Structure 1
Amino acid sequence: MSVVSQQRPQAGAASSRKPAPTAGLRGLGHPAILALVPALTLFCAFWLLPFARLVLMGAEVDRGSGVSAYLAILTHRQYLTSLAATLGISLVVSLAAVGIAGLAGFFLARHRFAGKSLLVASLTFPLAFPGVVVGFLVIMLGGRQGALAQLSLWLFDERWMFAYSLMGLFVGYLYFSIPRVITTVMAACDTLDRSLEEAARSLGASTWRVARDVIVPGIAPALLSTGAICFATSMGAFGTAFTLGTRMSILPLDIYGEFTNYANFSMAAALSVVLGVITWIALSVARKLAGGGLGAPA
Structure 2
Amino acid sequence: MSAPVGQSAKLPGETQPLAVSRARLSPQLRGKWLAALCLLPFAIFFMVFQIAPLVWVAINSLNSAEGWGLANFAKIFGSKFYLQAIKHSLQIAFWSSLFGMSIAILGSYSLHQVDSKLRDFVMAFSNMTSNFAGVPLAFAFIILLGFNGALTLLLIKIGLIESFNLYSKNGLIVLYTYFQIPLGVLLLYPAFDALREDWRESAALLGANTWDFWRHIGLPVLTPALLGTFVILLANALGAYATVYYLTTGNFNVMPIRIAGLVSGDISLDPNLASALAMILVGLMAVITVAHQLLLKRNRHVAR
Alignment of 1:52-71 (within 5 A): 52-61=55-64, 68-71=71-74
Q: Give the match for residue 23 of structure 1.
A: none
Go from structure 1 to structure 2 and tell me whether the alpha carbon gap of 1:114 and 1:33 turns closer, same or farther (over 3 Å shift).
closer
- Note if contact 1:138-1:171 (Cα within 8 Å) is conserved in structure 2: no
Query: Cα distance 1:296–1:38, how it changes in 2: closer, same or farther (>3 A)?
Result: farther
Which string of whole-angstrom CA distances, capped at 9 and with x for unpartnered residues, describes residues 77-113 of structure 1?
2111211221121111121122111011111113337
Q: Which blocks of at least 5 consecutive residues in structure 2 are unaligned?
A: 9-13, 23-28
1:277 to partner: Cα distance? 2.5
| Pick aligned residue for 2:184 from 177, 181, 195 | 181
* Aligned AA (1:81): Q
Q: Which amino acid aligns with 1:252?
A: P
RMSD of aligned Cα (Å): 3.5
**Paired residue for 1:44, among 43, 47, 54?**
47
Aligned residue for 1:266?
A: 272
> Residue 255 of structure 1 aligns with which residue?
259
Structure 1 residue 174: deviation in Å? 0.9
**C-alpha contact 2:126 2:186 (8 A) present in aligned 1:** no
- TM-score scaled to structure 2, two decimals? 0.80
**Helix, strand or coil at the partner of 1:128:** coil
Query: What pairs with 1:195-214 in structure 2 (closer than 5 Å)?
Result: 195-214=198-217
Give the AA of the match of 2:91. Answer: G
Task: Tell me what 1:282 maps to.
Answer: 288
Amino acid in the other structure paired with 1:234: A
Structure 1 residues 95 and 207: CA distance shift in structure 2, 3 A? same
Q: Which moved more, 1:222-231 or 1:107-116?
A: 107-116
Contact 1:59–1:68 (CA under 8 A) maintained in structure 2: yes
State the identity as a percent. Answer: 26
The CA deviation string for residues 109-133 of structure 1, in whole angstroms up to 9 with x for no partner, is: 1333774433443344311313332
The separation in 2 between residues aligned to 1:43 and 1:119, in whole angstroms, is 34
TM-score (norm 1): 0.81
Is the 8 Å Cα contact of residues 82 and 250 (structure 1) preserved in structure 2?
Answer: yes
Give yes or no for the alignment of 1:73 onto 2:76. yes
Change (3 A) 1:230 1:7: farther
Cα distance 1:30–1:116, how it changes in 2: closer, same or farther (>3 A)? Answer: closer
Which of 228, 231, 248 is 1:228 aligned to?
231
1:110 partner SS: coil
> C-alpha separation between the residues in 2 aligned to 1:133 and 1:163?
15
Give the 5 Å matches for 1:153-164.
154=157, 160-164=163-167
Pairwise CA distance, 1:134: 1.9
Conserved 8 A contact 2:62-2:70:
no
Q: Quick one: structure 1 residues 294 and 131, their matched pair in 2 at CA, closer, same or farther if it must change by over 3 Å? A: farther
Letter in 1 for 2:258: D
Q: How many residues matched? A: 284
Larger radius of gyration: 2
Q: Which moved more, 1:222-231 or 1:41-50?
A: 41-50
